[in-house]
Amino acid sequence: MARYVTALQDKKFKGIAAITMAALLFLFAAHSFAHDLVWPGEKLKILFPQAESFEQKNLYVSDEQRSRIEKALGSRLPEEDMKPSLYLAVVRSGPDTPLRKAAAMLFIDAYGEGGKIEMGVVVSGKGDLMKVHVFENKEPQKIVRQSFLKQFEGKKASDQFKVGADITAPPGGEKSAQAIASGARRGLLIINEMFKKR
């Protein structure tokens, strides 16, 4: 009888251990691909409304790629950016033309005065920044207006992305503006590195 009870307890312990392990794996996966828990179709349409569809690429930044990105940034690449999910906008130029990939998009987090800023960046096939859009944030409204964000369009990875140099911040929003500028440049560098546009 004692052996039977011990065997039941052992099975119960293994069951609890398996459930715990599954929960930990889910949490790790959720952290690793934080923006990928739900298909971001609506957000992708905001970033590239003319796309017919979107193609997702889950990638891994190699040590060599990380080194190049960090050298260009002048700072460490956050761990959450080591497994980027890139989205390709698929478009058609005309009704009888074949589908083609027009741009790459990446969701990236920056940290401003109000905390985390979730933003999306769109990069052209030539490796230039096409668009920056701020999604979830607690920043002052002036920092997420198109009048501020439009100045990122056409920027290259070689640009400074510095408030007071090539970025004009709304009065009193310098810290948040720099956070968005740094996030936009980081997204641009990651996309260009993953697709070898330098």
pLDDT in tens, 108-121: 999 988 899 999 99
Section 165-185 average pLDDT: 94
Q: How confident is the model at residue 94 (pLDDT cuts 50, 70, 90)?
A: confident
Contact indicator for 187, 106 with CB cutoff of 8 Å: yes
Section 65-87 average pLDDT: 95
Sign of CA dihedral 174, 175, 177, 182: positive
- pTM (global) more than 0.85: no
Contact indicator for 92, 101 with CB cutoff of 8 Å: no
Sign of CA dihedral 119, 103, 63, 84: positive
Q: How confident is the model at residue 37 (pLDDT cuts 50, 70, 90)?
A: low
Section 19-47 average pLDDT: 62
Contact indicator for 83, 57 with CB cutoff of 8 Å: no
For the chain, the structural domain boundaries read 1-32, 38-194
* Total length of the chain: 198
